Amino acid sequence: MRLLLLGLLSSIIVCAQSFYVLTGVKEYDPLVSSVPELEIHNEEIRAEMIAMSKELNVNTANHPSRVLAFLISKVSIGDTVGYKVNLELGEYMKRESDGGAIFALSYVDSHLIAASDDVEDDLMDTVEEMLSKFAYQYKDDNKGSTQTKTGLTHTNFAAHMGYETDYKVALKKAKKEGKELLIFMSTSYCPWCRKLEKRLLSKTDIDKKIKAKYIPVKLNFSKKNFPKQFKEIALTPTLYIVDPKTEKIVHQFVGYSNREGFLEILK
């Protein structure tokens, strides 16, 4: 099973719709796969992963259906040789349509290091940096003070959260209140949109910040009942910040991987 999952981690890619969020991750199996010349560090790297996991209170005892893996491979560009270090969280996720499960990557971080005399030190420095970044996001995503509104489903999200669903109505309201529009572009069949709803937009502290600055509106991309400027990006979820006076897009955030940029403008 572990060898199979390592193979899947190496070959499966979730594109711009990856939701890169660590909320609710309570267990995983830490694994390391490296090129032969660097395998001597595998146990040391795994020990670092376990130490970080204990600090986060994550169970690492035999959970093969979810793996956190360092994958170290050799790369070359012309005559320059180096190593690519990936930290990936792979897990089984249910499809919204048929309830079936697919194995996908829900977190990916990648670094390149040169094949120099200091490669061993560079490798361990890189591992520590990547684990530190992972731990920081994990703590941020799992803050106990950030609560999600109860009774929320994707069908009642707009009504439950107080989002407008008509672009023209939202635009008129934004002009009246002197606020920009926050457009949440979704579809009924997009599982990553559900993650965005549940793990970001429905958080009470984030929702409060959104409504202090914006008039939020949820639109269904499939229905096309909105200006053509919002039809150019077909990926969902997409968040748009729009100036109500000019109807120009001020910011746009495609996929959940841009969540940090969105959170930054809420500060």
Task: Please write the tens of the pLDDT for every residue from 17-42.
Answer: 334 578 788 899 999 999 999 999 99
**According to CATH, where is 3.40.30.10 located in the chain?**
157-266
Mean pLDDT of 113-125: 88
Whole-angstrom CA distances from 180 to 23, 195, 211 are 29, 24, 10
Sheet of 101-114, strands arranged across: 29-33, 66-77, 80-94, 101-114
pTM for this prediction:
0.52
pLDDT bin (cut points 50, 70, 90) of residue 45 is very high
For residue 248, which of 176, 180, 166 has the smallest C-alpha distance?
A: 180
What is the pLDDT at residue 4?
46
Mean pLDDT of 32-55: 93
Q: Name which CATH class applies to 157-266.
A: alpha beta
Residue 153 identity = T
| Contact partners, residue 148, CB within 8 Å, separation at least 6 | 198, 199, 202, 203, 204
Mean pLDDT of 113-118: 85
